[in-house]
Structure 1
Amino acid sequence: MIKHIVMWKLKDFAEGADRATNAAKMKEKLEACAALVPGTLKFEVALAQPGLEATYDIVLYSAFDSKGALDAYADHPTHQALKPFIGAVRESRQCMDYHI
């Protein structure tokens, strides 16, 4: 199994919207990718919540049964279509993939 965890910090204002609006839109777009490929075992998207510690605005926590499944997700056209929006609204990104 391979875990794929990504965190994004968003710009205060981008694409004609504020951070909260873009975070909600990004969450919706990411959640639409939850069942794109066979081998997706876990796919969870969360926004930073008031009262809880967070240095980033959005996190994706996912697990795939193989590196091949992760690669298929990464290359899927629906996932690829997210990149322009995410690139426009993000200030920074952190990612870590690891086998367990």
Structure 2
Amino acid sequence: MIKHIVMWKFKDDAAEADKLEMKRQLEALKGVTPTLIDIEVGLDVLGSDQSKDIVLYSEFASMEDLTAYATHPAHLKVGELVKTLVCERMCVDYEV
């Protein structure tokens, strides 16, 4: 199993409604992108200097399935919104 974790920092001018819409659209990928086993998206509640603003946790059966998800049209469409709202991205993919 592959675990895919992504963290972003929002741009200073990102509206709260847009942040919630990004979360909603990411969560809506479950059931639309067939290789996505599970997904969880959370907004940071701490707000420390070390915090990122939003995190995505997702699971895939294989690296091939993660690649299929990454190139799926629904994922690419959400990515267009994400790019307008964030200024920083960090990612970790690991196998369990």
| TM superposition score category, shorter chain reference | 0.7 to 0.9
Q: How many residues align?
A: 95
Residue 2 of structure 2 corresponds to 2
Q: Contact 1:42/1:64 (CA < 8 Å) preserved in 2?
A: yes
For the residue of structure 2 that corresponds to 1:46, the secondary structure is strand
Counting only pairs closer than 5 Å after superposition, residues 4-43 of structure 1 correspond to structure 2 as: 4-14=4-14, 18=15, 20-43=16-39
Compared CA separation, residues 87 and 39, structure 1 to 2 (3 A): closer
Residue 87 of structure 2 corresponds to 91
For the residue of structure 1 that corresponds to 2:37, the secondary structure is strand
CA distance in 2, matches of 1:71, 1:52: 32
Residue 60 of structure 2 corresponds to 64
Unmatched runs of 5 consecutive residues or more in structure 1: none
Residue identity (%): 42
- For residue 43 of structure 1, report the CA deviation from its aligned partner: 0.8
CA distance in 2, matches of 1:66, 1:83: 21
Q: CA RMSD in A?
A: 1.8
Query: What's the TM-score, normalizing by structure 2?
Result: 0.87
CA deviations 1:20-59 (Å, max 9, x no partner) are: 222101001101112233443321111112x576711111
Compared CA separation, residues 75 and 42, structure 1 to 2 (3 A): same
Amino acid at match of 1:90: V
Unmatched runs of 5 consecutive residues or more in structure 2: none
- As a proportion of its length, which structure holds more strand? 1
